[in-house]
Every structure is written in C-alpha cells, then in structure tokens.
C-alpha cells in the first residue's frame, strides 16, 4: 500500500486550520501543526513556530506537503508593516525553507481580502468574458474562490484540461466558449505591470484579424520561446528554447489571437514531448504575415511565478510597489469600481 503524504499546516490552530486538520484526521492523513499559539483540538500535533522567523521554520517544518494559513488582514493590524512581514516576508521565508528541504508542494490559501486576486491585465483591457482552464481536480477550488465573476462585473466560465497536452490545446478546449470570436490567452502564473499596459492590451484586443504577442528582453532567453528578428527589426520566426538564442526577446505568456485559433490549433502537430506547442501555433500566424510582435520596453515588468525563486521575486516586487505607493497592485475591486462595474 502506498504510504500517505505527511501534511504540515502552518497557522493550523485557527478556525480554518482546525477544520482542515479535522478533515485530515478523519481521513487518517498524517499531519502536524505549526503556529504561534497552541491548537486546542490537536495540542499533541502542534509545534510552536512563526513564519516571520525563518530559523523557527527551519527548526519545525517537515513533511511532504505544506499548507500555509498564516496571514493577517491589513485592517486587523495597527502597524501596516506587520501585514507585509506576515503575508509577504512570511511567504518568502516559507518558500525558502521548503526549497532547502526539497518540499515541492506548497499551498498558500486564504481569503481574497488577505492576499488579493487579479487576472493579469485582462480586466483593464476591456475583456469581460473569461474562461478559466484548470485540471479536473482543481476546478472546484477555483470555482469556490472566484465564483461567477459578478462581484467584479465580469463573467467567469470554467473548462477542464484532463491532461497537460500543450498551451495551444486551450483554444481547442475553449472553442465552444469562444464562438468564433477573437480572444486573449494569459498564463495563470504570469504577472504584467507597467504604465501604459492597459492601452497596449486594448490595442491588441481591438485587432480583428491575425494575432499579437509581446516580446520582453531577458537575460536567459534559452528558457523561453525566442523571437528572431530580421535586419529591419521585424519578427521572422519564433524558436522554442533555442540552445543559441537569436535574440534576448522572449515571448511572454500573453497571446491575442483571432477567431481562427481553434482551427489552426488542430493543425499543430504534437511535439517530441507529445504536446501542442503554442510556439507552433504562433509560427502559423507569423509565416502568413498575420502576427505582430510588440516589444515591452524597460518601463514594463513581466514576472513568471512558476518556480519557488520566481515566486519570491514576484512577492518582493509587489510588496515594494504597494509599500512605496500605498496602493494595491492589480486590484480587481478597484478596477471594477473605477469602471463603474462594481455591483
């Protein structure tokens, strides 16, 4: 019989944590609690620890899966720096410790009020109908968290991708949702930020035919799909993870394509790893002269949060912005209110 994974619940002494631990106990899943206060229901499972103290985490965190519930609402603390110390620096500390201990699964969970939520860019671009593509096992959690989108004046639908068969497959799965209309595909772990970004996205969204992607200069282009430019600076090809990159401009995880995208995606041949690569789909548009590559300049930030290290970078970036400006970055409630769409 396969052994059960051990779960460590950070902040497991509170209401949500106690109920989660009870569920784990009912299913006979091994768990432990790390908190700044003792658990009343599971004192024998509790160790004293604090996400704000990295040495404390190093001495207490074990197991295979970590669930982090340690967070505070900014309105519940008199010293606003405590919000950042717990929610941002605490998350950074936990990610560092999990990396050191080779713990590969971390679940950050709390309310929207604590962590905030934003679909990068799409809302300010004027897009109101959004399909969230998830794995079958994750869809219910997304639906519980986001609902139908009416609280932000948008409409959310949900589509499952049974297996990771490539980004281009998203257009095939969403064909019924799209109904032949142009669309934007944005990867859930990408963050975009910069003055003038809404206008740039709105311009791409208004294009009726062809497609638009965005190039961003990076120091490690071999990790991405890279744009090869001709002598006039026009894109001539896109190469997936080249050993010798022809430029430093990587294609970001944001794609605006016309209504022919689902049909084109069906023509994409699976790659060596058996996936329908987005690069192959973009190449179809490019070879027909139907793809624009817009360069994001130095005033823009593009962050890919798909690794522990890049997640730390993104957290630090957002923390610096919000702390310096005293405003939230990418707040859907604020955008909905300013565009007179809040219910």
DSSP letter string, 1-38: -PPPPPEEEETTTSHHHHHHHHHHHHTT--EEEEESS-
Helix (H) or strand (E) holding 170: helix 169-173
Q: What is the pLDDT of residue 343?
A: 57
Q: What is the pLDDT of residue 310?
A: 85
Q: With beta carbons less than 8 A apart as the criterion, state whether 64 and 4 touch.
A: no
Q: Domain extents for the chain?
A: 7-114, 163-304
For residues 186 and 88, what is the distance between their CA atoms, to the nearest angstrom? 24
- DSSP code at position 294: E
Q: With beta carbons less than 8 A apart as the criterion, state whether 249 and 239 touch.
A: no
pLDDT tens per residue across span 161-217: 999 999 999 999 999 999 999 999 999 999 999 988 888 998 898 888 999 999 999
For residues 91 and 318, what is the distance between their CA atoms, to the nearest angstrom? 13
DSSP letter string, 41-57: S-GGGEEE--TT-HHHH
For residues 54 and 302, what is the distance between their CA atoms, to the nearest angstrom? 28
SS3 category, 100: helix
- CATH number assigned to the domain covering 163-304: 3.90.550.10
Give the torsion sign (CA, 242, 248, 254, 256). Answer: negative
Helices and strands of the chain, counted as H and E runs? 13, 15
SS3 category, 65: strand
Helix (H) or strand (E) holding 215: strand 211-217
Topology agreement, domain 7-114 and domain 163-304: no
7-114 is a CATH 3.40.50.720 domain: yes
For residues 90 and 96, what is the distance between their CA atoms, to the nearest angstrom? 10
**Starting from the edge strand earliest in sequence, which strands make up the sheet with 65-68, in order?**
46-48, 31-35, 7-10, 65-68, 105-108
Tokens encoding 169: 């497959």
Q: How many CB atoms lie within 10 A of CB 11?
A: 26
Residue with tokens 């041949």: 269
Tokens encoding 137: 């096992």
Which residues of the chain register pLDDT less than 70? 1-3, 73-80, 110-126, 339-343
CA R_g for the chain? 22
DSSP letter string, 110-157: --HHHH----TTTTTTT--EEEEEE-TTTHHHHHHHHTTSGGGT-EEE
Residue 122's nearest CA partner among 330, 284, 293 is 330
């Amino acid at each position: 019989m396969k052994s059960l994974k051990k779960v460590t619940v950070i902040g497991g002494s509170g209401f949500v944590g106690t109920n989660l631990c009870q569920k784990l106990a009912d299913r006979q899943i091994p768990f432990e609690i790390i908190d700044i206060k003792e658990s009343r229901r599971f004192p024998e499972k509790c160790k004293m620890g604090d996400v704000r103290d990295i040495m404390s985490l190093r001495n207490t965190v074990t197991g295979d899966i970590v669930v982090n519930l340690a967070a505070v609402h900014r309105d519940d603390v008199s010293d606003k720096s405590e919000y950042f110390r717990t929610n941002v620096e605490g998350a950074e500390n936990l990610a560092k410790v999990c990396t050191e201990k080779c713990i590969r699964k971390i679940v950050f969970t709390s309310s929207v009020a604590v962590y905030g939520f934003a679909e990068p860019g799409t809302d300010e671009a004027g897009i109101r109908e959004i399909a969230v593509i998830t794995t079958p096992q994750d869809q219910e959690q997304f639906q519980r968290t986001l609902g139908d989108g009416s609280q932000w004046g948008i409409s959310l639908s949900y589509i499952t991708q049974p297996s990771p068969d490539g980004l281009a497959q998203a257009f095939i799965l969403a064909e019924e949702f799209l109904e032949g209309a142009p669309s934007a595909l944005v990867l859930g772990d990408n963050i975009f930020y910069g003055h003038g970004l809404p206008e740039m996205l709105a311009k791409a969204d208004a294009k009726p035919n062809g497609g638009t992607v965005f190039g961003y200069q990076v120091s490690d282009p071999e990790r991405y799909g890279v744009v090869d430019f001709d002598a006039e600076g026009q894109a001539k090809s896109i190469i997936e993870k080249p050993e010798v990159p022809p430029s430093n401009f990587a294609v970001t995880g944001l794609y605006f394509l016309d209504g022919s995208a689902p049909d084109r995606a069906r023509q994409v041949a699976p790659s060596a790893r058996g996936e329908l690569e987005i690069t192959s789909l973009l190449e179809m548009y490019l070879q027909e002269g139907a793809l624009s590559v817009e360069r994001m300049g130095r005033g823009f930030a593009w962050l890919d949060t798909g690794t522990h290290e890049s997640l730390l970078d993104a957290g630090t970036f957002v923390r610096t912005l919000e702390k310096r400006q005293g405003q939230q970055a990418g707040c859907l409630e604020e955008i909905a209110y300013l565009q007179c769409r809040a219910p």
